[in-house]
Chain A
């Protein structure tokens, strides 16, 4: 099928299989390998991207559902010298170790902060990030980073 979508402000017209997953399109067709795959049961959140203003697990989105969508992946968030406050906070608070969960975690965290409307505490961050697995950090520093970034967004 033909798929038109905008990823990181760039419009794409692609020929994809109808059963292709958004994550496969992002990683494969578009070569944006910052979005990761950590499971096959939509439980880990490593594949999280922003689609039409919401964080979604891109392993659960079929190509057809992404028709005309605006998608932001970790690569579209900010580059060195021009980082998103959440990216900066993750580094400043040592909220990543191996980095594999990080892109999905950052996108989910931004979504959480946006949705919280200024009312975030530790418990809300922990609950809000429960869909993203991290095996390295024990979440302690991730929670710190999100709360710190929330004040700057």
Chain B
């Protein structure tokens, strides 16, 4: 096998441009004659816009134009849609408040844009934006999630600020199981609001050609085709074939760049309106205010056990904060990506979950790395660990007793998923060994002798990735299919250009996908080029989120490569005067079985483009496409163990060790997979110990910069100990499951289980800041 094929630690080819400063991010793009956009944003969490006086701004030096929501609406620009329709328990549709790209009548969160200034320079645009005089009538905002349904009504016609009231599972069965339980563990907690903070801020550069009526929009998107589809079909910016969306190098996304936002919409529109290329780049303060935030749940959860410690049932009630409007996929996160995961790795026979999703006067909340699954894992794994402590059973042992066993797959959970494969105990045992579980009491003694507290916590998480069969997703309310496209274009000289609808914003597809195709077609890694992120070069694609790229996008490339091989066999058979069925393909060579007749891949490719001796019933050329629609989710799972040391004097928690043993199925590039796990863990640890997006009572974001919002830095973290176990996915051709979110999903519960173990308290709110820890110790 080649040393650059599947399973190899191939160094990333994209790195060459990044380490030499030759990356090309959106803000690096400058078009001749471009003007600059600066948005005018609401200083109030909730207010009626009485008048906007832009006359002074319009007269300011360098100003090309000042536009408001009314100008966009008058030009037929529609509201930004939400792409997933969730129904309430009573069968009614979720309530969708209109979200014009620039607010027209009311503003509903601090930082909501309601006007845009276009000027010759960025400085002039900023100066003019400050001259826009707006008369607001301030309205009482709804800020507290706990009190959101009792607050004033934010959107006309949406009672109690309730978007939907959703449920899943068999309530009667759950009630019956609780009635006969020997023990019930109950927890009430919040899942803290997070602000994604990819280090590259969002940006857009748009240009419009009046003679051809064509837009080109460069933007920081995880899914440029989806961006195009929404801007064309719903927002009415331009017909789809007149809109090219290019997502060049993108500096991290973590979900926050999936969504279609007001800013690139308005910038693109303004390019047509002013007949100038228009550039907008968020500064960090704008990113804090206007990127979609993540998490923000309040939950009450109960687990019923029998006397032997067998889980009988789980009952979960969650209130989820959607913010002021429905962002692109907001509705699916606390429902289909959350409630469906509550079985975790266990045989819990009955589960009932209710989710009430509400609007507040805060930034929209949507998918952030893990999206729903970290919240579900937190519920399950905090409950299980607490139940173990309450019943005096070792937490590893309680998990073993309740794991779904390897011979029980496919396993149908009581919350609508069918797990295809897994071996949960294998990950647990490997992690126990790695952390030296048996040695923990001795390590604890050493810490205690030094006046410290030490704790250890588990998180045996599961996630559902590579979502999902399109038909199922569409039945459940999704507005798009969830397949992925891939094209393998063999060039006449035998080199290969691969087009994928997946998008890389750090994941390394240019390397991984080249490994897959090079392995499959037996052509050198260097001869495979991967193209992504441009609607003008690729047919279609759904982009990258939910750890789907290799499972779905990679599978599409396998399918397309299969077609290449099938056609190649027919060409080779013709040239070698044999039957296609007698031609084998292996390691880049077409050979007629039991003869010494063969042709290389390159010879067949050349013949396909210079068809001197070619089958009459075949078209020339060697280029194939595939749309791969997954048959099921994939179910990565694993065991994470955190060990912490707490200084009771200061309340400071030090994460001493973090072990992650994950089952991602087959692995294409272990180096890249480990990197994904590291990054996810850092974000999960950030949620547990450091990060919290906070609005004060008046609705102002008080964590609006890196000075107030505590991002994990190098000295907050240890090196991580990561390993894998493998049960290959049973339903995709690569046997892969996805690895992008595991760390962020598993880590928060592991860390908080460790912190509560160290403090010997039942629960503590995230993030476990020194102040909270210190207070908890004083109270204990």
Interface residues of A (CB under 8 A from B): 17, 27, 32-41, 43-44, 46, 73-75, 77-80, 83, 87, 90-92, 94, 96-103, 106, 122-123, 125-127, 129-130, 132-144
Bound state CA distance, A126 and B654, in angstroms? Answer: 14
B507 interfacial by beta-carbon distance below 8 Å: yes
Q: Which residue of A lies closest to B705 (CB)?
A: A41
Partner of A83, one of B19, B123, B285, B507: B19
Q: What would 19 more interface pairs be, CB under 8 Å, given A83-B20, A100-B198, A129-B713?
A: A33-B21, A39-B283, A40-B283, A43-B705, A77-B20, A79-B20, A96-B15, A98-B198, A98-B250, A98-B252, A99-B23, A101-B199, A133-B711, A135-B198, A138-B678, A138-B720, A139-B682, A139-B712, A139-B713
Contact (Cβ within 8 A) A137 B679: yes
Give chain A residues whose Cβ lies under 8 Å from the Cβ of B251.
Answer: 36, 98-101
Give chain A residues whose Cβ lies under 8 Å from the Cβ of B676.
Answer: 97
Distance from B742 Cβ to chain A, minimum over Cβ atoms (Å): 12
Contact (Cβ within 8 A) A32 B21: yes
Q: Known: A99-B249, A138-B681. Contact between A90 and B15, CB under 8 A?
A: yes
Most B CB within 10 A of own CB, among A34, A44, A80, A99: A99
Task: Tell me the B497-516 residues at the A interface (CB within 8 Å).
Answer: 505-508
Give chain A residues whose Cβ lies under 8 Å from the Cβ of B409.
Answer: none
Contact with A along B54-97 (1 / 0, CB 8 A): 00000000000000000000000000000000000000000000
Bound state CA distance, A97 and B506, in angstroms? Answer: 4
Contact (Cβ within 8 A) B678 A141: yes
Q: Known: A80-B16, A100-B251. Contact between A36 and B11, CB under 8 A?
A: no
Contact (Cβ within 8 A) A92 B11: yes
Distance from B125 Cβ to chain A, minimum over Cβ atoms (Å): 15
Q: What 4 A-B pairs are tightest by C-beta distance, nearest first?
A: A34-B21, A100-B251, A99-B18, A138-B682
Bound state CA distance, A146 and B21, in angstroms? Answer: 18
Most B CB within 10 A of own CB, among A77, A100, A125, A144: A100
Partner of B707, one of A17, A43, A144: A43
Q: Which residue of B lies closest to A20 (CB)?
A: B123
Q: Known: A39-B284, A122-B719. Contact between A94 and B198, CB under 8 A?
A: no
Give chain A residues whose Cβ lies under 8 Å from the Cβ of B671.
Answer: 94
Bound state CA distance, A34 and B740, in angstroms? Answer: 26
Contact (Cβ within 8 A) A133 B19: no
Contact with A along B196-233 (1 / 0, CB 8 A): 01111100000000000000000000000000000000
Bound state CA distance, A66 and B668, in angstroms? Answer: 47
Bound state CA distance, A107 and B587, in angstroms? Answer: 43
Contact (Cβ within 8 A) B19 A75: no
Give chain B residues whose Cβ lies under 8 Å from the Cβ of A134.
Answer: 199, 714
Contact with A along B476-516 (1 / 0, CB 8 A): 00000000000000000000000000000111100000000
Contact (Cβ within 8 A) A142 B199: no
Q: Known: A40-B705, A125-B714. Contact between A136 and B252, CB under 8 A?
A: yes
Number of interface residues of B (CB under 8 A): 57
Bound state CA distance, A90 and B18, in angstroms? Answer: 10
Bound state CA distance, A103 and B22, in angstroms? Answer: 10
Partner of B715, one of A17, A43, A126: A126
Q: Which residue of A lies closest to B14 (CB)?
A: A99
Give chain A residues whose Cβ lies under 8 Å from the Cβ of B19.
Answer: 74, 83, 87, 90-91, 96, 99, 102, 106
Contact (Cβ within 8 A) B507 A97: yes
Q: What are 10 A-B pairs with beta-carbon distances under 8 A?
A: A34-B22, A40-B283, A44-B284, A87-B19, A87-B20, A90-B19, A98-B506, A102-B19, A138-B678, A140-B720
Contact (Cβ within 8 A) A34 B23: yes
Distance from B526 Cβ to chain A, minimum over Cβ atoms (Å): 14
Q: Which residue of A lies closest to B281 (CB)?
A: A37
Bound state CA distance, A122 and B719, in angstroms? Answer: 9
Give chain A residues whose Cβ lies under 8 Å from the Cβ of B656.
Answer: none
Q: Is chain A's binding surface mostly helix, strand, loop or mixed? A: loop
Partner of A94, one of B12, B23, B711: B12
B706 interfacial by beta-carbon distance below 8 Å: yes
Bound state CA distance, A44 and B252, in angstroms? Answer: 14
Contact (Cβ within 8 A) A38 B285: no
Q: Which residue of A lies closest to B24 (CB)?
A: A33
B675 interfacial by beta-carbon distance below 8 Å: yes
Distance from A33 Cβ to chain B, minimum over Cβ atoms (Å): 4
Task: Tell me the B665-682 residues at the A interface (CB within 8 Å).
Answer: 671-672, 674-676, 678-682
B717 interfacial by beta-carbon distance below 8 Å: yes
Contact with A along B690-723 (1 / 0, CB 8 A): 0000000000000001110001111101011000
Contact (Cβ within 8 A) A103 B21: yes
Give chain B residues whose Cβ lies under 8 Å from the Cβ of A102.
Answer: 18-19
Q: Known: A96-B15, A133-B713, A135-B254. Contact between A44 and B705, CB under 8 A?
A: no
Give chain B residues whose Cβ lies under 8 Å from the Cβ of A133.
Answer: 199, 706, 711, 713
Bound state CA distance, A99 and B679, in angstroms? Answer: 13
Contact (Cβ within 8 A) B252 A97: yes
Give chain A residues whose Cβ lies under 8 Å from the Cβ of B285.
Answer: 40
Distance from A111 Cβ to chain B, minimum over Cβ atoms (Å): 14
B743 interfacial by beta-carbon distance below 8 Å: yes
Contact (Cβ within 8 A) A130 B714: yes
Contact (Cβ within 8 A) B679 A136: yes
Contact (Cβ within 8 A) B711 A135: yes
Contact (Cβ within 8 A) A130 B284: no
Q: Which residue of B lies closest to A125 (CB)?
A: B714
Partner of A97, one of B20, B675, B711: B675
B136 interfacial by beta-carbon distance below 8 Å: no
Give chain A residues whose Cβ lies under 8 Å from the Cβ of B12.
Answer: 91, 94
Q: Known: A44-B199, A133-B713. Contact between A138 and B679, CB under 8 A?
A: yes
Give chain A residues whose Cβ lies under 8 Å from the Cβ of B706.
Answer: 39, 41, 43-44, 133
Contact (Cβ within 8 A) A75 B21: yes
B28 interfacial by beta-carbon distance below 8 Å: yes
Contact (Cβ within 8 A) B715 A127: yes
Bound state CA distance, A99 and B675, in angstroms? Answer: 13
Give chain B residues whose Cβ lies under 8 Å from the Cβ of A41.
Answer: 284, 705-707
Contact (Cβ within 8 A) B200 A94: no
Give chain A residues whose Cβ lies under 8 Å from the Cβ of B719.
Answer: 122, 140, 143-144
B27 interfacial by beta-carbon distance below 8 Å: yes
Distance from B385 Cβ to chain A, minimum over Cβ atoms (Å): 24
Contact (Cβ within 8 A) A78 B14: no
Bound state CA distance, A140 and B681, in angstroms? Answer: 10
Partner of B21, one of A39, A74, A132: A74
Contact (Cβ within 8 A) B714 A126: yes
Most A CB within 10 A of own CB, among B197, B505, B713: B713
Bound state CA distance, A35 and B714, in angstroms? Answer: 21
Distance from A73 Cβ to chain B, minimum over Cβ atoms (Å): 7
Bound state CA distance, A87 and B285, in angstroms? Answer: 31
Contact (Cβ within 8 A) B284 A40: yes
Bound state CA distance, A111 and B502, in angstroms? Answer: 37
Give chain A residues whose Cβ lies under 8 Å from the Cβ of B249.
Answer: 98-99
Give chain B residues whose Cβ lies under 8 Å from the Cβ of A17.
Answer: 123
Contact (Cβ within 8 A) B714 A129: yes
Contact (Cβ within 8 A) A78 B198: no
B331 interfacial by beta-carbon distance below 8 Å: no
B25 interfacial by beta-carbon distance below 8 Å: yes
Bound state CA distance, A120 and B712, in angstroms? Answer: 21
Contact (Cβ within 8 A) B284 A94: no
Give chain A residues whose Cβ lies under 8 Å from the Cβ of B201.
Answer: 37-38
Q: Known: A39-B284, A135-B254, A141-B675. Contact between A100 and B682, CB under 8 A?
A: no
